[in-house]
Structure 1
Amino acid sequence: MSVLTAGVDEAGRGPLAGAVFAAAVILDPAKPIAGLADSKVLSEARRDALAILIKRDALAWCVASASVDEIDQLNILQATMLAMSRAVDGLSVRPGLAQIDGNRVPRLLSVPGEAIVKGDAKVAAISAASILAKTARDAELVALDVLHPQYGFARHKGYPTAEHLAAIEAHGVLGAHRKSFGPVKSWLARQQGMLF
């Protein structure tokens, strides 16, 4: 009997705001999903459509995250690894192997792991995980945009675009911002300087 393999990927390491998300997916060989690819090369509409199919047809899937506070306490790499471990632990079916996109296997992983560089373009289950992680993170940023429309989160998804940096200058730092990230940290330091 072949080993059940979960594909694992993350979304949201680079942005200045929001949690980092990870997903783990065990695909069903009897229900292949056409069109799986690295989420970054797919249109938003295609990702959304594929996410529905993945959730319907996969043997198991789980989306997990690590919070802004965890990112600031641990650093983004460790928080990403934590989110990946949580995604694998949250699967309703336990895999025999987790294939992780990138060059590192999370230390806390509860099953054997294998790192695959550019795995999201090579392994269907990792592509599926990248799509679920990305659509979940985008949904969080769209929700944040409803609460704070002046920041433009629905457009830039928290990445350090000119629009986002200008919004931080104009409106300040939110609880959803990662305080350990350069542009946010330097804005806070300048505010601190003005207080003294």
Structure 2
Amino acid sequence: MATIGIIGAGKVGTAIARLAIAAGDEVLLVASPGAQYFEQIVALTVPGARAATLDEVADAAELTILAVPFGKVDTVPMNRFNGAVVVDASNHWEPVDGIPAILHGADAGLSSSELVQRLHPGVRLVKSLNHLGYHDMDTDGAPAGAANRRAVAVAGDHAAANATVAAFLDRIGFDAVDLGALAAGAVLQPGEQIFGRFVQREELAALALQEHEVAA
């Protein structure tokens, strides 16, 4: 059993929490500042999870998921997470997020996760879980070795952090495909072939390579 911290208690965060609890992990959920009745909401929507603070997650979690809207990632104080493995599960949705502050003056060639990494340089950031919907998380998990098991990508600049996230994905019901460096996670963003598509291990690896070659 591992302790998993999830920052963000929306549809994505709670879907991941349910998967982690089903896998036997302890889950600490963090809500937006000022959220009312959060403990009661957690008890109803994610039985078995515990409402927590950022400090509690920083102290206890072996893996933390950043599951807040992209437009709010710069509002999350992550200074206590230096050295920690953090999954960026966010996506930039311009109709929803507009042009958030994190994008002002940013290099247009950088992926959204590279921008998050620049914002929090001490975090061992891994891009993952962003390319499937919360409803897919609730339905598509399967036991290891299942013939039609869905694959989920990981991309990060620290091999050990990628391995930690890959082990978590396997535990919650998905085959992990390591794409390598964080920059490679650009192929997982909205508008790319992989985004929202049910793929298995071999197809995911092939599509990622194809998109990388096109971009190059």
| Structure with more helix by fraction | 1
Report the TM range for the smaller structure's normalisation: under 0.3
TM-score (norm. length: structure 1): 0.28
